[in-house]
Structure formats: structure tokens, C-alpha cells
Structure 1
Amino acid sequence: MTEIKQEADINNSYKLYSQRAIGIATYIGGPIAAGWLIRENFRNLGNDDYGKHALAISILATFFIFAGIFSIPESVMDKIPNFIITLVYTGIIYLTVEKLQGKDIAAHQKSEGAFFSGWKAAGVGLINMVIYMVVILGYTFATPEASFDLEKYNDGIVQFQNNEKEAMELFNLLEAEKKEEAITFIKEKGINLWGKNILLLQKMNGIEGLDQELIDQNNQFIKYCQLRIKSYKLIYKALNEDTDRYHSELANIQRDITDILGIDQ
């Protein structure tokens, strides 16, 4: 009996990302987001080498996806709904997770082991999505004919990413169930960081000669930051009131965020 209890304790001593959570992250942030979460699962299962291989493969997969997309004539790409490509690689990742980790995840769930929240997985996906968009835009506009200060624009994007990464630390606090720290973080840093990003993007829109496509993209990022502020305020209220009554509102905001950042663009 003691041995059984000890085995259960071992199984419950770490967290994993579920297949559903990895699927969400993949849909939002692509193969690298999936590779990161699969790597974390392997590390927590004691297979760090497998984790490194999974991340490396996800990076290569992303490269080949981008290479394939850029090689397809624009006239053809215009006829393919964006969500089709996303659904295809999300489905492939889901089946890959089932093959590589399905048994371990099922066993962990059966032993009542803990899992990371879908919010954290979505956060990883969103960060990767922003990075992808920056890479694509950089590739598109990094030409000798650029009519604006590309270096200044890129510096702004780097600062945007740094602020976003710091602001997303909230989800690590929520995952660790550090309620008071999360409340303080939202009040003193989280909302302010998203506000800084809005001001930063507005300033970037003023760069002389900036292409209209980049201005439009910046405006999408501004809407994204505004939604983040709205969600952080709701999370703050939920934590203070110790309630889950705002769950549906937060879910709606999350859907709006994925739409704004390009899932259905």
C-alpha cells in the first residue's frame, strides 16, 4: 500500500501540458510553440534529450512551412483560406503528440497528476505568433528600397517583444497559484507594460515613410494590447473577488485576441 502511495506521489510531483493545451498553442503560435511545450513535457518526464530533439524538429518544421508559403505564387495563396494551413499543421502536431507522449499523458491523468493550464499554453502560442509576424514583416520589408528607417522600426519591435514577455509573466504567477503576487503584478506592472506597448506602437506609426501595411499591422497590435489590458483588469477583479464569474468574458477576449493576431486575417 505504501509503495502504491509513493508511486502516486511521484506521478503527481510534476506537471504536463495536455494534448488539448498543446493543440491550442500550436493553432495560435505554430510548430515552435508546440515544440517548446513538447520539450517541457519530455523534460518533466525525465527525457531531456528527446525534448531537445523535439524543439529542433519544430524549428525546422517552421522553416519549411515558411519556405513553402513564400514559394507559392501569390495568386494561388489568395485562394487558400489561412485557417486551412493552420488546421493542417495543428492536426499533424496533435497526432505527433499522441504518438510520442499519449501514453505518458494518459497515465499522468489517470494517476491524478497535475497539468499546466490552457492559459499558459495559449500565452506561449501568442508570444510565438508575434515573433512569426515580426519575422514575416522583416523579410517582406528588409529590402534596399525600404522608404523608412527599418532599424528604428525593428528596435521598436524588439522593445515591444520585451515588454510583452515581461507582461506575460502574470500567467506563470497564476500557474503557481501565487494569488497575491499576481494581484500586485497586474496593478504595478502588467497593465502598465501593455500601456507602454500601445504608446510605443503609436510612436512607431509616426516613423517617416512607414509603409501603410506596417501601420495597419501596428494598429492590430494596438488592439491586441487593449484587449490584454481589458483581460488583465478582469483577472484582477476575479482574483480580488475570488470568483470565476468572469470566465466567459475572458474566453471571449481570448477569441478576439486570436482573431486580431491573424488566425482569420
Structure 2
Amino acid sequence: MIVCFSFTDAINYAASIGGFTTGIVFGLALFTFGKKRNYAIAFITSTATIAIVFLYFNFRSSQVYIYQVMEYQRRMQEFADMENMALEAYSVQYGNSFSENKESTLYLIKDRGIYYWNENITLIKELDKLYLPKESHEQNEKLIEYCKLRISLYELAYQKILENSSAYDEKMLELNFKIAAVMSKINTAKSKK
């Protein structure tokens, strides 16, 4: 078995062009100053120092950006976990099970469902302070809107069960359509990434 490896695979062309350009500039500086070699060396040293400082701060800020995007993606798993817990609280069907009674259903909706939607809003507001791409900030706005719509739906479901009334059904249906529309926008934005 023959393994072929070319050094050109590892060459960064931008670095090569930068090194070539730097060599020409410094060579011209040495040639221009001629016998005043000390001036040429001082020019080269100061130029190199400025370039190094500029590149350091530029690279450092890009690293911060990358780390914050990674932090955002990691913490979005917390959002998904809390969303699942909130949805589980709402999925309990009141009246369909002997083990679930009115009080426990109300508890699940209020103290688990609504609680986790509020926690998700807090999480998204915290994550929105990170240095993120514009698209992520726009997605955060949609996620907060989504959570607020869910809270409104849960509050209506709470009232419906508490009062044992169908008076809230139309408003709940309307909220479900709004939630579906926001989720569609979020999914469309994700698919464009």
C-alpha cells in the first residue's frame, strides 16, 4: 500500500502570500536605508511589533466569538430539555386517567409547565447577551415569543380545567395557530443556516 502525501495539502495560501509580501517589504526597507542599517532594523522591528499586536487582538476577538457561539449551542440543549419538561406537563390529559386528578393537573400546568417556559425565557435573555451572529439574536426573539405564547396557552388551559369550562377553547385554538406560525419561522430560519 502506497500512501501519498503532498506538502501542498498543509499549505495555507494566505500565510504564504503574507510571508512573501512581508519579505519583500522588509527587504526593500533594508535596501532603501542602505548603510543606515540601524534605521532599517528599527523600522522592521516596529512594523513587525505593530502587526503582531494587531493580529493578536484580531485573533483573540475571533476566539471569543467562537467560544460564545459554542456556549450558546451548548446551553440551547438546556432550552430543549426544559421545553420537553414543560410540554410533558401540558400533555397530561385531565379526566382520562384515574391516577390524575384535577389538582395534580393544575399543579403540573402551573408549577411545571408555566415554570419551565419562564425559565426558558430567562435562559434566552441571558444567552442573548453573548456575542452572537445577527441570525442568532433574531432567533432568540422568536424563541421568546414562542415561550410567551406557550405561557398564554397554559394559563388558558389552567382556567379551563379550574372552571371546567369550554369558554376558552376558541382562544386556545387561536394560540395554537400562532404557536405553529412562530415554530414554522424558527424552523425556516434554522434550515437556512
Q: Which TM-score applies when normalising by structure 2? A: 0.57
Aligned length: 121
Asked which structure has the greater RCO (Cα within 8 Å, sep 6+), the reply is: 1
Quick one: distance in 2 between partners of 1:146 and 1:247?
Answer: 48
Give the TM-score normalised by the residue count of structure 1.
0.42
Letter in structure 1 aligned against 2:112 = K
2 CA distance for matches of 1:186 and 1:180? Answer: 10
Deviations 1:112-148, CA, capped at 9 Å, x for gaps:
xxxxxxxxxxxxxxxxxxxxxxxxxxxxxxxx99934
Query: Which of 175, 184, 189 is residue 107 of structure 2 equivalent to?
Result: 184
Give the counterpart letter for 1:158 in structure 2. Q
1:202 aligns with 2:125: yes
Query: What are the Cα deviations for residues 68-115 of structure 1, in whole angstroms up to 9, with x where unaligned?
Result: xxxxxxxxxxxxxxxxxxxxxxxxxxxxxxxxxxxxxxxxxxxxxxxx
Relative to structure 1, the CA distance from residue 263 to residue 220 in structure 2 (aligned partners, 3 Å threshold; closer, same or farther) is closer
RMSD value, Cα: 2.2
Structure 2 gaps of 5+ residues are 1-61, 189-193
Q: Compare CA radii of gyration and give the structure with the larger one.
A: 2
1:233 deviation in Å?
0.5
Q: Do the aligned partners of residues 146 and 250 (structure 1) sit closer, same or farther apart at CA in structure 2, a change above 3 Å counting? A: farther
The answer as to whether partners of 1:173 and 1:181 remain within 8 angstroms in 2 is: no
> Residues 231 and 253 of structure 1 are in contact (CA less than 8 Å); yes or no, is this contact kept in structure 2?
yes
Q: Which residue of 2 aligns with 1:152?
A: 71
Overall identity of the aligned pairs, in %: 26
Q: Is the 8 A contact 2:160 2:166 kept in 1?
A: yes
Task: Measure, in 2, the Cα distance between the counterparts of 1:171 and 1:232.
Answer: 7
Q: Which of structure 1's runs of 4+ aligned residues deviate more than 2 A? A: 144-148, 175-180
Match of 1:222 in 2: 144
Contact residue 89 and residue 113 of structure 2 kept, 8 A: yes
Residue pair 2:90, 2:154 contacting (<8 A) in 1 also: no
Structure 1 residue 239 displacement after superposition: 0.3
Following the alignment from structure 1 to structure 2, what is the Cα–Cα distance between the partners of residues 145 and 259? 36
